[in-house]
Structure 1
């Protein structure tokens, strides 16, 4: 109705007003992946008489909201006075079902550059966004700066804004080589750079006139020593145990350090000997009689000979002490008793 009465032919331009409805009303949900509309068959007759160049492109404008966009045509199968378009296009025009829109034929140049901006960072997770975008744009005839297109991929919708287009704000993307650039997503937050902490200032040099003890570090405390087997030993027979004091062990190196031993007896004898003699024979010599006269030397020689001839007296044998402890000293018993 509106297309027949309000449509006109002026200077080879197609123009008409139609009631707008989404493509879901005619079970054409596949058309949601593009920006092509459904016009009635009467519009095809008028377009053919005007010799409109292919591909047919149109400008869709809502007079109530003042917003406009551009699109192509997919079929001429809509009812008279109605136009069906993807729902995301109706959202860009801010219109509802049954709103009145004006459709006018348009000629757009081929695009050379377009800049897109995704709404969310999820678009960056796509493994090959270029291939997905090329496949999606096959359903588009043109792009308009300021529109928000919907990209369907992997059962998920991605909304993308068209922020820039060249050579005009509205371009044709049919059989053209167009450069595509991406802006950061709307919810993208740049990572904050961690500021490095300033390096500590060098310590002031020590005063040359000051005491030397202030420049030297304090001596480290000695490492604790570990004494193995500090207890007292006991024997089964009751006698005193024979053994030296416990040996200190370095717990860090594991080396056992022997206790300081007493100096050898020879060294003590040398140190205690008078006049620096080695064996101290002068102090240990037995006092004897001194005999003067002709027989003095004979008596002395005779005593020395007798002493050398006598064998040394045998030492008394030490009695072996019997052990006070006897193992298994009890009487045997039988199980029959």
Structure 2
């Protein structure tokens, strides 16, 4: 008994009510048509042929339709949703970033399988460049990420996605997802965290030694040079008259005064 494949495109197979087939994959930029499909490049959904929709309907695959993509030659895999069923038979169109993650070239074979994923509760992203720290408004980053993830149906640990902020592209690697390594992010309440950017190094803390500057005066020996001179000012009379001018005693030199040594020759009066 022999089997012949009379079609140029592979026939989808069913394993336990699951869609599974191989397609020749091309980037979205190769899709023929007058419409600009740059929106597909920014998301995580693919374009499949009409026969896939017919087969999925027969299998009663319900919304959201999620798929596992595998490159068997490199053992790389990711997950995605589907945007449209308008591709030529035997062909599917992928965002360019998705083909890079799968290490696929134009026209390479990709295995497409339908899957059911748990709803995401947590995800952590790592910016792929320290330039990410130049963004001074964290709320704007979170808002931009939320808008970007609306074009995705699911997240897979290890994938690298991109967001556009202030006309600059920032790549983010999915470091962790919960409750599984691949999760659905359609209509979910997900906590988001960020890891330190790739290549970021914390600045080294330099110990500053306190040294007296040239402009700072050292007053430690000032009191010792002048000595202690109590009541060196002049007084006033109670009757308002000016005090007679008396010759002022010769100034005491600092060397004549020795603190702590009494003057035994001192006499009262």
TM-score (structure 2 length as normaliser): 0.71
Higher helix share: 1
SS at match of 1:139: coil
Cα distance in 2, alignment partners of residues 134 and 177 from structure 1: 11
Count matched residues: 205
Structure 2 unaligned residues grouped into runs of 5+: 1-6, 213-220, 227-269
Contact 2:23/2:90 (CA < 8 Å) preserved in 1? yes
The answer to whether 1:169 aligns with 2:174 is no
Residue of structure 2 equivalent to 1:9: 14
SS in 1 for 2:48: strand
Determine helix, strand or coil for the equivalent of 2:67.
strand
Quick one: distance in 1 between partners of 2:99 and 2:15? 27
In the TM superposition, what whole-angstrom CA distance separates every residue of 1:116-167 from its partner, at most 9, and x where no partner exists?
Answer: 0001233233321110010000000000001111212333211100111100
- Cα distance 1:125–1:216, how it changes in 2: closer, same or farther (>3 A)? closer
Rounded Cα–Cα distance in structure 1 between residues aligned with 2:79 and 2:8: 20
Give the distance between the partners of 2:119 and 2:8, measured in 1 at CA: 32
Give yes or no for the alignment of 1:20 onto 2:29: no
Deviation at 1:81, TM superposition (A): 0.5
Aligned counterpart, 1:188: 200
Contact 2:10 2:23 in 1 (8 A): no
* Residues 130-209 of structure 1 aligned to structure 2 (within 5 Å): 130-197=142-209
Q: Deviations over 1:76-116 (max 9, x none)?
A: 00001001010000000111100001000010000001000
For the structure 1 residues 55 and 2, does the alpha-carbon distance in structure 2 shift closer, same or farther, using more than 3 Å as the test?
A: farther
Of 47, 61, 85, the residue aligned with 1:38 is 47
Is contact 2:118-2:184 (8 Å) kept?
yes
Q: Once the 2 structures are TM-superposed, how far is the Cα of residue 4 of structure 1 from its aligned partner? A: 3.9
The aligned counterpart of 1:209 is: none
Task: Using CA pairs under 8 Å that are at least 6 residues apart, name the structure with larger relative contact order, 1 or 2.
Answer: 2
Q: Tell me, yes or no, if the aligned pair for 1:2 and 1:17 is still in contact at 8 Å.
A: no
Say if 1:3 and 1:175 are closer, same or farther in 2 by CA, change over 3 A: farther
Distance 1:90 1:165 in 2: 21
2:103 is matched with which residue? 94
